[in-house]
């Protein structure tokens, strides 16, 4: 049967169903793939989830290829099924080159907000002159998102050198270690040093609380409760922290530093993503993309810290001639229980065929349908985020151009339960309009049309959708 003939058959069946009473609407259903809709972004730098007072939104820092014939950085926000640009490179009102370095959610002065860190390139012919340097100079800045516009952040919150296009002091996270929410960040040892220390914001400036030595610097800060209470972990290429022997791995309890592990833990990259996950043996820190050494051995791609020891999970089999990496890691409950999800450039996890994305429940790995084909359409770096979508349900978001056997315009979501899959048009009422919607999804090869959550979108998916529609969304 040709595709036009099949679509014609769908229309005939949908017309017949339209004469029947609509099934009741409630919430249940197995997980499924769907597209978020098109976003005009190319290279993804960073994503995060934040509620600006109007509901959770997915924020994306990426290259925007549109406008003026050039490519520039923008902040995109996805909410209620729509992408919109909320910041461009010239957001500060300057017709100058601007580098948006990163976003961060901070609690400062009793208010949680989204902050943007950037660097302006000031040309010599501009009225602004920085430290008397002619030609080109760079100015670091921060801005706070109010939910409607950007306003300046605290003076000195991000500081750099006038001849370098990146900050030398910047905020990383907020953390309450028993003395109220405090902002922690990174600070260069000297103005032009590549060795970064751990710093804490005092309200007007940065103070160093962790001076790394014996190596290069601190590269990553991560919060975790290892049984001693919530602490700040610092990872990096160092052998001591504030004079305490700590080989690349130190813990700050709010008052002093500790060496939690005697073995060697080193990091050469800031792409060190960790999440807290309980695999049934208690909360542990799972860290992806390890590129250093643990006890002198090269680590696997996924490492587990239980508060006492490190263990390696060498479970990923990478296709030939592809980059061995984990791009994203997150904990998500798809309706069964919280589980660990990873994305990256591979097709097999512990013998389980799982293309580009996999779920770990603490015991076994499993694929998410057809997953994300690699390498042609692999997941975008740092794009894995968890957010509740009020239209579809709890969702895991990932950047990709193909997912679940369908075509995706840059971003997809794995929708967990509870959900109402049959409500294709998301109007919370099951009618013939949902069949018309499904026809459109099927024709466009949207992953939503893969009702069977298998490798392909085909006739079986229409039969599946008809069954799901007839059953309604009741328990």
Instruction: Give average pLDDT by consecutive 10-residue segment, the chain, 475 residues.
Output: 52 48 58 93 89 94 70 87 83 55 93 92 54 66 92 93 85 94 90 83 94 80 92 89 88 94 68 87 84 59 86 64 70 96 81 87 91 66 87 94 91 94 94 94 96 94 92 76
Q: Which two tokens stand for residue 311?
A: 């263990």
For residue 81, give the 3-state DSSP assignment: coil
DSSP classification of residue 254: S
What pLDDT is stored for residue 10 in this prediction?
Answer: 55
Give the integer Cα–Cα distance in Å for 236 and 247: 8
What is the C-alpha to C-alpha distance for residues 261 and 33, in angstroms, rounded to an integer? 41
pLDDT at 164 (0 to 100) = 81
pLDDT of residue 444: 94
pTM for the full predicted model: 0.89
Give the pLDDT confidence score for residue 213 in this predicted structure.
85
Asked if residues 439 and 10 have their Cβ atoms less than 8 Å apart, the reply is yes
Residue-level pLDDT at 19 = 39
Structure tokens at 374: 């690699």
- Please state, in angstroms and rounded to a whole number, the distance separating the CA atoms of residues 81 and 423: 14
Retrieve residue 228's tokens. 């001693």
pLDDT value for 290: 54
In this predicted structure, what is the pLDDT of residue 66?
65
Cα separation of 450 and 416, whole Å?
Answer: 15
pLDDT for 303 = 83
- CB hemisphere CA count around 93 (13 angstroms): 5
Q: What is the CA radius of gyration of the chain?
A: 24
Tokens of 321: 């001639």
Report d(CA 113, CA 104) in Å as an integer.
8
Question: What pLDDT score does 203 carry?
Answer: 92
Q: How far is CA 438 from CA 152, 421, 425, in A?
A: 46, 11, 8
């Amino acid at each position: 049967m040709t595709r036009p003939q099949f679509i014609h058959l769908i229309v005939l069946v949908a017309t017949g169903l339209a004469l029947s009473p609509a099934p009741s609407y409630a919430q249940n259903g197995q997980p499924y793939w769907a597209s978020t809709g098109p976003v005009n972004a190319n290279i993804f730098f960073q994503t995060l989830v934040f509620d600006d007072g109007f509901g959770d939104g997915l924020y994306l820092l990426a290259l925007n290829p549109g406008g003026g014939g050039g490519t520039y950085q923008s902040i995109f926000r996805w909410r209620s099924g729509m992408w919109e640009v909320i910041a461009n490179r010239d957001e500060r009102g300057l017709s100058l080159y601007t580098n948006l370095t990163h976003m961060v959610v901070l609690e400062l002065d009793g208010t949680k907000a989204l902050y943007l860190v950037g660097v302006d390139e000031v040309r010599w012919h501009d009225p602004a002159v920085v430290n008397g340097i002619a030609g080109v100079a760079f100015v670091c800045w921060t801005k706070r998102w109010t939910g409607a516009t950007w306003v300046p952040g605290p003076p000195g919150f991000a500081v750099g050198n006038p001849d370098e296009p990146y900050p030398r002091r910047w905020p990383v996270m907020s953390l309450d270690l028993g003395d109220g929410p405090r902002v922690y960040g990174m600070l260069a040892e000297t103005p032009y040093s590549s060795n970064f220390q751990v710093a804490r914001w005092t309200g007007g400036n940065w103070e160093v609380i962790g001076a790394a030595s014996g190596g290069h610097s601190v590269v990553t800060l991560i919060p975790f409760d290892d049984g001693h209470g919530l602490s700040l972990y610092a990872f990096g290429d160092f052998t001591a922290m504030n004079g305490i022997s700590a080989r690349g791995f130190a813990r700050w309890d709010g008052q002093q530093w500790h060496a939690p592990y005697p073995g060697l833990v080193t990091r050469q990259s800031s792409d060190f993503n960790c999440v807290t996950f309980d695999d049934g043996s208690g909360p542990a820190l799972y860290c992806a993309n390890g590129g250093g050494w643990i006890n002198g051995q090269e680590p696997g791609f996924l490492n587990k810290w239980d508060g006492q020891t490190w263990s390696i999970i060498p479970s990923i089999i990478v296709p030939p001639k592809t980059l061995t990496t984990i791009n994203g890691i997150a904990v998500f409950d798809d309706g069964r229980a919280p589980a660990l999800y990873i994305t990256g450039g591979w097709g097999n996890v512990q013998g389980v065929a799982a293309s580009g994305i996999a779920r770990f429940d603490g015991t076994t790995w499993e694929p998410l349908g057809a997953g994300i084909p690699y390498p042609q359409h692999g997941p975008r770096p740092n794009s894995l985020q968890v957010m509740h979508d009020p239209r579809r349900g709890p969702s895991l978001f990932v950047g990709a151009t193909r997912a679940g056997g369908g075509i995706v315009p840059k971003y997809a979501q794995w929708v967990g339960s509870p959900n109402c899959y049959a409500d294709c048009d998301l109007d919370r009422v099951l009618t013939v309009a949902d069949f018309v919607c499904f026809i459109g999804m099927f024709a466009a090869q949207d992953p939503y049309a893969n009702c069977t959550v298998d490798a392909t979108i085909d006739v079986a998916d229409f039969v599946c959708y008809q069954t799901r529609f007839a059953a309604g969304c009741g328990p």
